[in-house]
A = this chain, B = another copy of it.
Amino acid sequence: MRKPRLMTPGPAMVPEEVLLELARPVIHHRSDEAKQVITEVVAGLKEVFQTQNDVLILTASGTGAMEAAVVNAVPSGGKALVLNAGHFAARWMQICKAFGINGVSLDFEWGQPVDPDRVAEALRQHPDTACVFGTLSETSTGTGHPVEAIGRVVAETPALLAVDGISGVGAIECRTDEWGIDLLCVGSQKALMIPPGLAFVAVSPKAWDRIDRFDSPSYYFNLKAARKKMKEFDTPYTPAHTLILALQAALRRIRAEGMENVLRRHRRMSEACQAGIQALGLELFSARPAEGLTAFRVPDGLKDGQIRKALADRFGISTVGGQDKLKGKIVRIGHMGYTDELDVIAVLAALEMVLTDLGHDVEPGRAVAAAQQALMGQPSAVGYYKNGSL
């Protein structure tokens, strides 16, 4: 008996009743019923995104939402500032390059948060920046970036702020309007608790003002076309509306739990996971951990593949390793969406046993106890990242 536990930072687990929605007979996407579903879903997404901006639904991976943000916000030949601190932030640069946009890369060490002062400095150096592209939660490093502070900096300039919230939104606080996020990109398969296949873009009035000023070289991802159809709670092309039905069910769960409680749960799971990892003498990779996943450095003498394979083979737990320059150096555990505190306890208990098996010096129960202490709000023997400070 090995129960599958999908502890990857996306796709994440999907509640059973949401899965069952997917098994309902298909309805026509232009029917009144379909429009009612979209109406409710858009309202629910606005609550999660904490926005009054237009929310548009795309049938695509999260990367499709990123492409939509780039091609609609910056004309070919225009300038973009990319806050480049990981594999997915680097994707903004690649998209800019593909569309002939002059992407200026503001590099930060992977695992370190973006420094808003350096963003301000870069915007002074590049006053013609059309859009700043940042990340809420950098999935490749497990780092949460200070988007609120970045938003304050960008708001003082004519530049737009586009944020990849794909693995962050729903797990970390994201006050889209209050923080001045002009283009928020979100994916379906993370904290929103449905399978991959849908992406969302929330578009501010400041962003629309820019978007309306030029003809974007886009068709499928043309946000003007999506806005026009969304006025009738419709989409320009046949959407993956089985997934939209599932999203309706998932958003009802989020509403029932309450957004504040959802965010609190993610904070608690994050603190517990960090406490457990550190109690094992392992090193957290990120200097500012995001709340949807925990990345730790592979200890000397072990390989990440050994740890991950043992977790999978013996316990059915899926995790992911590092990407690009972090390949082999870190292990990432997702705890977002349909995940509870005991899932975190389970993965820590499994990690203790697996590390022991691999000959690593581990005191069984220590990680679990540290996580329990964190969950009970007791002071831990080891420090862990909490509310923005160690």
Contacts and interface: CB of A to CB of B under 8 A. Distances in A.
A241 B189 CA distance: 11
A35 interface: no
Contacts of A13: 25-26
Interface string A180-209: 000000010100000111000000000000
B14 A28 contact: no
B24 A11 contact: no
Contacts of A217: 76, 98-100, 217
A60 B23 contact: no
A276 B237 CA distance: 32
A222 B100 CA distance: 14
Given A98-B222, A217-B98, A189 B11 contact: no
Contacts of A11: 26-29, 238, 241
Contacts of A387: none
A25 B6 contact: yes
B59 A237 contact: no
Contacts of A4: 25, 27
A84 interface: no
Interface string A220-248: 11100000000000001111111100000
Interface residues of A, number: 56
A318 interface: yes
B59 A197 contact: yes
B19 A62 contact: no
A304 interface: no
A237 B62 contact: yes
B28 A23 contact: no
A22 B19 contact: yes
A6 B27 CA distance: 7
A198 to B, nearest CB: 8
A20 interface: yes
A320 B30 CA distance: 9
Contacts of A236: 63
Contact of A197 (B94, B187, B242, B318): B242
Nearest to A7: B28
A30 B31 CA distance: 35
Which of A8, A14, A23, A94 has the most B CB atoms < 10 Å from its CB? Answer: A23
A67 interface: yes
Nearest to A63: B237
B195 A26 contact: yes
Most buried by B among A19, A60, A187: A60
Given A13-B26, A31-B318, A197-B240, A220 B221 contact: yes
* CB-CB nearest 3 A-B residue pairs: A197-B240, A22-B22, A195-B242
Given A26-B195, A60-B220, 4 more contacts: A11-B238, A14-B26, A22-B242, A195-B242
